Every structure is written in structure tokens, then in C-alpha cells.
């Protein structure tokens, strides 16, 4: 093996972070999971959103399905074409993704603000970096966090075009 090529796994690391990175540590993989949280389910939607090569997307979707982060299900609107939906295991990544997003908003903000907001569906309050609603003080349950476009989103995404 060439010494400067990174391995996909970390055989000498007895560490849950290292083992987790073997599955979700590749950038396209995390962006696919992000897009699934935002409601994308079809191969073409992921490809359009990410600008990813079809062979890379195919490999990442297969890995996520093999690892039971996503499930490949039939699409009743398009027989013979699958949809990809989050499993319970995949939904468990929500807090990690939100924390990473909040960290990025804090340290790498755009001039206009965050590209996505994190709102508590129950009361409309902002979900802070501690995953607590700043309005009602609750920790929203899975499915109770809305991610609408924020002021730093591209104009087309803010206006729905």
C-alpha cells in the first residue's frame, strides 16, 4: 500500500468515533444523510442537490443501505425505481448533524447568516447548540425540528425557486 493513501478503516483504533467514521466519515455520505433529513429520497434528487457522480452516489447509497442507515424502498409513484428513507439508526444521526451545522454556523458563517434555521416545530423557537429550544426550553424529539432555509441560503432556496 502507498503510505500516503488514507485507509477506509482504522484497524488499530479501539474507538467508537473511528468506527463511526468508517461509515459516515466520507463527505458525500454525510451530505446524502443531510439531504435525506431535508426530504430528498430519490437518486436523481441527491445527484441534482450534490452534483455528485452517479457511480460515487451509487456506492454511497449502497454503503448506507448495507449499514442500515438508509433503507431502499419501492416508490409507488415510479414502479421499479427505489426511494431511500432513513431508518431509526439513520434518524439517530440528527443530533450529530445539527451540532455539526451549529458549529459551522458559529465558526464559518456566511455574511447573511446561516443557510438553514433549526426551529422547534412545537412552538417555532430556535434550537440552540445545546439542542434546547430557546422559546419553551424543551429538547425537541426526533421529527420536531424544522430546517427551513435561513438568511444565508441561496436566493432561489429562500424563495422556493
Is the distance from CB of 23 to CB of 63 less than 8 angstroms? yes
Q: Which of 90, 108, 137 is the last residue of a domain?
A: 90
Based on the fold, state whether residues 156 and 107 are members of the same structural domain: yes
Report the pLDDT value the prediction gives residue 60, as an integer from 0 to 100: 96
Three-class SS state of 62? helix
Based on the fold, state whether residues 58 and 118 are members of the same structural domain: no
Residue 31 lies in a domain: yes
Based on the fold, state whether residues 124 and 150 are members of the same structural domain: yes
Based on the fold, state whether residues 99 and 35 are members of the same structural domain: no
Based on the fold, state whether residues 84 and 23 are members of the same structural domain: yes
Share of the chain above pLDDT 90, in %: 62
pLDDT tens-digit series, residues 35-46: 999 899 999 999
Based on the fold, state whether residues 82 and 98 are members of the same structural domain: no
Number of domains into which the chain is organized: 2
Based on the fold, state whether residues 110 and 83 are members of the same structural domain: no
Residue 7 lies in a domain: no
Is the distance from CB of 108 to CB of 139 less than 8 angstroms? no
Distance separating alpha carbons of residues 119 and 135, to the nearest angstrom? 10
Distance separating alpha carbons of residues 46 and 49, to the nearest angstrom? 5
Residue 11 lies in a domain: no
Residue with more model confidence, 8 or 33: 33
Q: Which of 75, 90, 105 is the last residue of a domain?
A: 90
Q: What does DSSP assign to residue 145? A: E
Residue 2 lies in a domain: no
Based on the fold, state whether residues 129 and 153 are members of the same structural domain: yes
Average pLDDT of the chain? Answer: 88
Number of residues in the chain: 161
What CATH number is given to the structural domain containing 34? 1.10.10.10
Candidates 22, 38, 32; CA nearest to 70 is: 32
pLDDT tens-digit series, residues 99-156: 999 999 999 988 999 999 999 998 999 998 888 999 999 998 877 889 999 999 987 6
Domain range spanning residue 78? 16-90
Distance separating alpha carbons of residues 142 and 89, to the nearest angstrom? 12
Amino acid at each position: 500500500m502507498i503510505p500516503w493513501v488514507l485507509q477506509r478503516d482504522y484497524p488499530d483504533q479501539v474507538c467508537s468515533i473511528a468506527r463511526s467514521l468508517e461509515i459516515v466519515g466520507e463527505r458525500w455520505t454525510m451530505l446524502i444523510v443531510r439531504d435525506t433529513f431535508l426530504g430528498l429520497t430519490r437518486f436523481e434528487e441527491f445527484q441534482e442537490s450534490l452534483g455528485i457522480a452517479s457511480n460515487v452516489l451509487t456506492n454511497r447509497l449502497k454503503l448506507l443501505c448495507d449499514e442500515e442507515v438508509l433503507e431502499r424502498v419501492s416508490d409507488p409513484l415510479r414502479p421499479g425505481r427505489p426511494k431511500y428513507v432513513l431508518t431509526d439508526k439513520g434518524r439517530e444521526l440528527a443530533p450529530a448533524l445539527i451540532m455539526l451545522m451549529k458549529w459551522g454556523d458559529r465558526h464559518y458563517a456566511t455574511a447573511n447568516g446561516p443557510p438553514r434555521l433549526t426551529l422547534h416545530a412545537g412552538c417555532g423557537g430556535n434550537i440552540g447548540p445545546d439542542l434546547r429550544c430557546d422559546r419553551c426550553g424543551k429538547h425537541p424529539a426526533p421529527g420536531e425540528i424544522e430546517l427551513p432555509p435561513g438568511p444565508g441560503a441561496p436566493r432561489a432556496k429562500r424563495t422556493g425557486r
